[in-house]
């Protein structure tokens, strides 16, 4: 029995080493790509998410705005409209499941580190949303915000789709309120 457990522990260590080496390779590739490098300045987004996003959408030219990218990922709620009444349902879960899961994990990383909220300009939005949303819904809303407020702009550097997110001349991501920006 001890031999079996020692063999399994050895397998586990080898897998850990393999995962570590692959993670290092992904990070090296992401550091060489300008789009990935800029995406990594968004809070909660690291080399794996940035490289997966660039691999999935390339320059992002197929999306006319960040909201379209969020819809493609399945991070927007289903809408049921009758007359003048609109009801928002669960997220649609369409599109690239892997990328959607990565964005939700990035949102959780941001939510569990409240000291970083102020630095990235997210504190007022998160605190207001925390009062009215369940923590799981808040994570989805923050993931949606990541995709609509600059993530698409990071990849397609030449197109200005929203007043929020990362501008071409900026090195770091900053949250901006929709009405608090100049027109380009």
Residue 15 lies inside a defined structural domain of this protein: no
Q: What is the pTM of this model?
A: 0.69
Residue 99 lies inside a defined structural domain of this protein: yes
Residue 105 lies inside a defined structural domain of this protein: yes
Looking at residue 10, what is its pLDDT? 94
Residue 160 lies inside a defined structural domain of this protein: no
In tens, the pLDDT along 151-162 reads 444 433 322 222
CB 166 within 8 A of CB 154: yes
pLDDT class of 4 with cuts at 50, 70, 90: very high
In tens, the pLDDT along 17-49 reads 999 999 999 999 988 988 788 788 777 788 988
Q: Which domain holds residue 101?
A: 33-155
Beta bridge partners of 77: 91
Residue 18 lies inside a defined structural domain of this protein: no
Contacting residues for 58 by C-beta, under 8 A, at least 6 apart: 155
How many structural domains comprise the chain?
1
Residue 166 lies inside a defined structural domain of this protein: no
Residue 66 lies inside a defined structural domain of this protein: yes
Residue 19 lies inside a defined structural domain of this protein: no
132 compared with 182, residue with greater pLDDT: 132
Average pLDDT, the chain: 76
Structure tokens at 96: 């690239």
**Across 28-32, 61-65, 77-81, 174-178, least confident range:** 174-178
Buried b / exposed e across 10-27, counting CB within 10 Å, b at 16+? eeeeeeeeeeeeeeeebb
């Amino acid at each position: 029995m001890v031999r079996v457990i020692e063999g399994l522990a050895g397998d586990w260590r080898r897998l850990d080493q393999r995962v570590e080496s692959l993670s290092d390779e992904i990070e090296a590739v992401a550091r060489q790509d300008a789009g990935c490098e800029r995406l990594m300045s968004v809070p909660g987004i690291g080399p794996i998410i940035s490289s997966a996003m660039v691999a999935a959408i390339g320059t992002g030219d197929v999306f006319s705005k960040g909201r379209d990218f969020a819809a493609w990922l399945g991070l927007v709620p289903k809408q049921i409209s009758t007359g003048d009444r609109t009801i928002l349902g669960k997220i649609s879960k369409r599109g690239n499941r892997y990328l959607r899961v990565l964005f939700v994990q990035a949102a959780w990383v941001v939510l569990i580190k409240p000291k970083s909220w102020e630095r990235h300009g997210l504190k007022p939005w998160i605190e207001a949303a925390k009062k009215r949303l369940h923590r799981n819904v808040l994570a989805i809303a923050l993931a949606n915000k990541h995709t609509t407020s600059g993530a698409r702009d990071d990849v397609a550097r030449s197109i200005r789709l929203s007043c929020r997110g990362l501008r071409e001349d900026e090195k770091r991501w900053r949250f901006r309120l929709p009405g608090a920006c100049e027109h380009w």
